[in-house]
Amino acid sequence: MSAPLISLDRPNSYIGRSLPRPNAKRLLAGRGRYVSDLHLPRMLHAAFLRSPHAHAKIVSINTDAARAVEGVHLVATGPDLAKICTPWIGTLDHFKGMTSSPQLPLPLDRVVWSGQAVVAVVAESRAIAEDALELIEVNYEELPVVVDVDGAREVGSPLVNPGSANNVCFRSQLDNGAVDDAFAKASHVVEEEFSFGRHTAVTLEPRAIVADYDPAAGMLTVHHATQTPYQFQDLYSRHYGIPEARVRVIATDIGGSFGMKLHVYHEDMAVVGLSILLGRPVKYVADRIESFVSDIHARDHRVRARMALDARGGILAMDVVDLTAIGAFSTYPRTSVVEGNQVIRLIGAPYCFRNYRATLEVIFQNKVQTSQYRAVGHPIACAVTERLLDMAASKVGLDPFAIRAQNVIADDAYPHTSPTGYRFEALSHQACLKRLHEIMDYDSLRAEQADLRKRGVYRGIGIATFVEITNPSPAFYGVGGARISSQDGAIVSLTPSGEVRCLISVTEQGQGTESIIGQIVADQLGLAQERIKVITGDTEVTPHGGATWACRGAGIGGETALQSARALKRNILEIAALVLQEQPSALDIVDGEVVDASTRNQRMPISEIARIVYFRSDTLPPGTQAQLTVSHHFAPQGYPFAFTNGIQGCLLDVDVETGFVKLLKHFIVEDCGRVINPMLVDEQLRGGIVQGLGAALFEECRYSETGQLVNGSLADYLVPMPMEMPDIVIAHVETPTADTELGAKGVGEAGTAAASACVLNAVNDALAPLGATINSIPITPARVLKALKRF
């Protein structure tokens, strides 16, 4: 009964169409409602005193003067909140042997990174709270600091967690055998040690929360700039002992999250406790300086990797060691080891080879926590694999395209299981490679490059193939014991006027989730999109679900919307059939009208069905109970993940005198399965690529030897800006997943996954005639000049 999803020439065919986001105008007009915009009656403001030391014992805290400041309502330290909040531990069961210390909103006796919140002040205004902070005296006794990863691993190193045997959080090993044999018989071996700097998300809107505990109702309402309201409903309920049904988390408009806004932050947990202690709403908005020292950081890997190849350039084996440092704790509830785990499992993923060995070691240190951030682990795995492949290509004497064409998994060879155990349903590396070659006009670029070199211009061309993990099943977190849902739910209703409301558990952070859900519902019901209202992000209203992370909104949320809309359509047509004395199967809905399925002749508007059902049920046959509200859940089944793939290309110039890299153009061919809204998919790709380019050239959290972040401001921490960004050329290949009707996979992380690898390869391509190589990200002028021995 449903029309094919791909036909665009029928009414209400919204799947596959570029449509503007309905909420864009509202946000552009300044009518967004962010947590910062909230002013609740009797609301107070929290500010936090932060540790100036990376590791120190708290000897004493004197808050008397702060308490005496007029307008101050509460000064709280670790023990005050520990009385009402149970500790949390950032481990998951499926990461065998991992450890992490219990965490509390504020520390009891020891600080473990510079910038950690130590004391909270709640006052009539943020300014008064900050006045009071200046009057608090904390007496610290400094402890030895663990900063760099080598120092942390030395025997006898100071310990981040006293009482533990060492600074290791987690170790993991993959080995499917015969790796040493493969290397022994290889014709070519390439090897490199790579380093990847720490960076951080830098969302336009910082973290923000208003907690509002009503002691009379025993009810906690939290307005929270988060991707995952249900996860926080569960956590606030369990750690503060409030029944789940009496905890409401509302995710308002959100100004970007990129994975940063789904972790438990000490300040956020503290603010909930402060509201409970005071029985009043308490607001906290991190300022930019605080964000740099308290938002999760990401990456920070050192990878030694080698690749064995046969004489023709066929990959035989890879052998990898990834060391990653994650700060003083593993983040809760998703841990800080998922990134490393994905690094070692995604290395080599696009290619056909058998023998793989990898070791992961995750280390504690006295820095802010790292955790999942856009394209978790992908950029590291991609850069390592793709750089080694380029090194191999030059050794064997193959063009970068040729060596990839030779080694990628063939498009007709699916299903395929990677050497690390990932199961791929269907990928399209060959089609993507071919398309990229075309859109780059690759041969012309190479000819131009050769010309320019004669004139002293060092142009670089780089490509990077990638695989992305999307649509995660419970295999991601659920199996590890985390109460993080991988299913989604929707409630779809026909309103009395014949419009549709869709309440759904996926959330919106600016990427257009609500738009595509509206498109899918309108498409499947046969209604104009303007007649669909999509509501997200309120645990009191929307059904429980996974929300938005790991590229699941379109694939899982979209399928939930599709199935819910089909169910509502069945119910509407059942009533229509009764009224029209037809079989439901003989009817369809087109543009809000019930029509004859075969002739398309209009029979009655669905608004008329709604009117009858809601106001004149007496005119329906006896015993009819119309169901114009449908609730429906969808949990992914089949493959544990829907893998996507693609390939990126990069064109740049290296100024070999200054070490500056100028990006000229970027290309991507991407396969995210069914494209629901091409414009939004392209925006995701562009945004993701820009974040990857930031990582490639600019972004790095730099620390001093004493564990102080030395560039924690937007003047010193460089994010990518429009003037330095190139045009981005986008093309698509569509391989829908057969696990869902919709066939959509995720796309949010694809751009970030390979952009930095692509730049790394292009810079090395540019420097090749000078005999210099780069193996570190970000690629700064200092690193380029060092490689060129210019100073």
**Least gap, CB of 340 to another protein (angstroms):** 27
Stretch that binds another protein, among 61-69, 148-156, 237-245, 657-665 (CB under 8 A): 657-665
For residue 771, is it left (φ>0), alpha (ψ between -120 and 50) or beta?
A: left
- Whichever of 187 and 711 has its CB closer to another protein, that residue is 711
Structure token pair of residue 144: 């030895």
Residue from 74, 90, 106, 131 that binds another protein (CB under 8 A)? Answer: 131
- Whichever of 28 and 721 has its CB closer to another protein, that residue is 721
**Least gap, CB of 33 to another protein (angstroms):** 22
CA 714-372-759 angle, to 5 degrees, is 65
660 binds another protein (CB under 8 A): yes
Residue from 34, 40, 130, 405 that binds another protein (CB under 8 A)? Answer: 130
Quick note: the x/- pattern for another protein over 715-744, rule CB under 8 A, is x--x--x-xx--------------------
Rounded Cα distance between 192 and 719, Å, is 27
* Residue 700 vs residues 139, 199, 652, 719: alpha-carbon distances, Å: 32, 5, 21, 9
**Least gap, CB of 331 to another protein (angstroms):** 25
**Least gap, CB of 759 to another protein (angstroms):** 15
782 binds another protein (CB under 8 A): yes
**Least gap, CB of 159 to another protein (angstroms):** 28
**Least gap, CB of 130 to another protein (angstroms):** 6
Stretch that binds another protein, among 87-95, 123-131, 196-204, 597-605 (CB under 8 A): 123-131
Please, are residues 637 and 699 in contact by the beta-carbon 8 Å criterion?
no
**Least gap, CB of 102 to another protein (angstroms):** 30
The per-residue DSSP string of 541-587 comes to: TSPP---S-TT-IIIIIHHHHHHHHHHHHHHHHHHHHHHHTS-GGGE
Residue 462 pairs in a beta bridge with: 650
Structure token pair of residue 75: 């000064």
For residue 122, is it left (φ>0), alpha (ψ between -120 and 50) or beta?
A: beta
93 binds another protein (CB under 8 A): no
The helix/strand count (H/E) of the chain reads as 20, 29
Residue from 658, 705, 706, 738 that binds another protein (CB under 8 A)? Answer: 658
153 binds another protein (CB under 8 A): no
Closest residue by Cα to residue 1 from 621, 594, 499: 594
Quick note: the x/- pattern for another protein over 615-654, rule CB under 8 A, is ----------------------------------------
Q: Which helix (H) or strand (E) holds 123?
A: strand 117-123
First-to-last C-alpha distance (Å) of the chain: 71
**Least gap, CB of 30 to another protein (angstroms):** 17
Please, are residues 724 and 696 in contact by the beta-carbon 8 Å criterion?
no
508 binds another protein (CB under 8 A): no
Strand order in the sheet with 661-671: 458-470, 642-654, 661-671, 727-732
> Helices 750-767 and 678-697 sit at what angle, rounded to 10 degrees?
50
Rounded Cα distance between 536 and 542, Å, is 6
**Least gap, CB of 267 to another protein (angstroms):** 14
Please, are residues 775 and 784 in contact by the beta-carbon 8 Å criterion?
no
**Least gap, CB of 44 to another protein (angstroms):** 14
Quick note: the x/- pattern for another protein over 675-714, rule CB under 8 A, is -----------------------x---x-x-----xx---
**Least gap, CB of 151 to another protein (angstroms):** 19
127 binds another protein (CB under 8 A): yes
Rounded Cα distance between 379 and 356, Å, is 19
Structure token pair of residue 543: 């059904």
**Least gap, CB of 168 to another protein (angstroms):** 30
- Whichever of 180 and 705 has its CB closer to another protein, that residue is 705
Residue 160, Cβ neighbours under 10 Å: how many?
27
Stretch that binds another protein, among 125-133, 244-252, 516-524, 540-548 (CB under 8 A): 125-133
Residue 131, Cβ neighbours under 10 Å: how many?
18
Percent composition of the chain: helix, strand, coil (DSSP 3-state, to 5):
30, 25, 45
291 binds another protein (CB under 8 A): no
Residue from 150, 181, 193, 287 that binds another protein (CB under 8 A)? Answer: 287
Rounded Cα distance between 554 and 529, Å, is 17
Stretch that binds another protein, among 96-104, 679-687, 752-760, 776-784 (CB under 8 A): 776-784
CA 549-630-612 angle, to 5 degrees, is 145
Quick note: the x/- pattern for another protein over 230-269, rule CB under 8 A, is ----------------------------------------
Quick note: the x/- pattern for another protein over 530-559, rule CB under 8 A, is ------------------------------
- Whichever of 445 and 725 has its CB closer to another protein, that residue is 725
134 binds another protein (CB under 8 A): yes
125 binds another protein (CB under 8 A): yes
* Residue 585 vs residues 470, 568, 569, 597, 607: alpha-carbon distances, Å: 36, 14, 11, 8, 20
Residue from 657, 662, 705, 769 that binds another protein (CB under 8 A)? Answer: 657
- Whichever of 175 and 716 has its CB closer to another protein, that residue is 716
For residue 761, is it left (φ>0), alpha (ψ between -120 and 50) or beta?
A: alpha
- Binding interface with another protein (CB under 8 A): 125-127, 130-131, 134, 287, 289, 657-658, 660, 698, 702, 704, 710-711, 715, 718, 721, 723-724, 780-782, 785, 790-791
